[in-house]
């Protein structure tokens, strides 16, 4: 009997050196949360144990080295420009070594906005593979992860956020996202609970 293809995909959002490597521009900012919930180790374990059991889809983000593509934007992208972060081809915009995609993994190369669904091929890719459920992990919890969860919900997917495989810039922001905003759009679970359910 043929094995049924999984209907769930794991979306790994911005698992890049800027967040995960000590030399990354945003690494220090997530440390209060990362030390508390172990998200960096959980992300590595999550990818290792989920690979081969369901599709892993990586969603990096990078901008022109001149930042001409976002120079006029306000909000969080202003900080990207000020820190000279996430420039295409730079160390910070590369995948963290332990989170590098493997040959069977998928990479969404055209992410330029906060939600991984906005302006990308992700929805078409998921539907072509019969994916109805998405699980999200990565950075930042209350920015790209939450925005992607909202989009996925609007697109009709069943959404899970793996909370201890995400981090925000403060414990307060992390707690608020996990307990107040994300439950409107997603089931919020731990790494172990997600892996146990596979």
Band the pLDDT of 20: cuts 50, 70, 90: very high
Which residues are paired to 63 by β-bridges?
87
At 72 the pLDDT is 84
- Rg of the chain in Å (alpha carbons): 16
At 73 the pLDDT is 86
Band the pLDDT of 6: cuts 50, 70, 90: confident
Q: What is the pLDDT of residues 146-171, one digit of tens each?
A: 999 999 999 999 999 999 999 999 99
At 71 the pLDDT is 83
Band the pLDDT of 2: cuts 50, 70, 90: very low
Three-state secondary-structure class, residue 3: coil
**Rounded mean pLDDT of 18-25?**
98
Query: What superfamily in CATH does domain 8-197 come from?
Result: Isochorismatase-like (3.40.50.850)
| Residue 91 near residue 62 (C-beta atoms within 8 A) | no
| Residue 191 near residue 45 (C-beta atoms within 8 A) | yes
**Rounded mean pLDDT of 123-130?**
97
**Rounded mean pLDDT of 176-198?**
97
Q: What's the pTM value of the predicted model, to 2 decimals?
A: 0.96
Q: What is the pLDDT of residues 31-84, one digit of tens each?
A: 999 999 999 999 999 999 999 999 999 999 999 999 999 988 899 999 999 999
* Structure tokens given for 115: 């939600």
Locate the DSSP E strands across the chain.
8-13, 56-59, 106-107, 133-139, 158-167, 187-189
Band the pLDDT of 3: cuts 50, 70, 90: low
């Amino acid at each position: 009997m043929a094995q049924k293809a999984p209907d769930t995909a794991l979306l790994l959002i911005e698992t890049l050196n800027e967040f995960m490597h000590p030399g990354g521009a945003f690494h220090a900012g997530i440390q209060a949360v990362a030390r508390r919930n172990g998200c960096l180790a959980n992300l590595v374990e999550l990818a290792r144990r989920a690979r081969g059991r369901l599709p892993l889809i990586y969603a990096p983000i990078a901008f022109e080295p001149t930042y001409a593509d976002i120079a006029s934007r306000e909000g969080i992208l202003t900080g990207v420009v000020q820190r000279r972060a996430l420039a295409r081809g730079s160390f910070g915009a590369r995948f963290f070594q332990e989170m590098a995609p493997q040959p069977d993994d998928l990479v969404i190369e055209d992410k330029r906005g906060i939600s991984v669904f906005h302006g990308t091929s992700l929805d078409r890719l998921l539907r072509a593979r019969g994916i109805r459920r998405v699980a999200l992990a990565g950075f930042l919890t209350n920015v790209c992860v939450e925005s992607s969860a909202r989009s996925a919900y609007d697109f009709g997917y069943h959404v899970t956020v793996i909370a201890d495989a995400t981090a925000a810039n403060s414990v307060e922001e992390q707690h608020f996202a996990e307990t107040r905003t994300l439950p409107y759009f997603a089931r919020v679970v731990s790494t172990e609970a997600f892996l146990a359910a596979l």
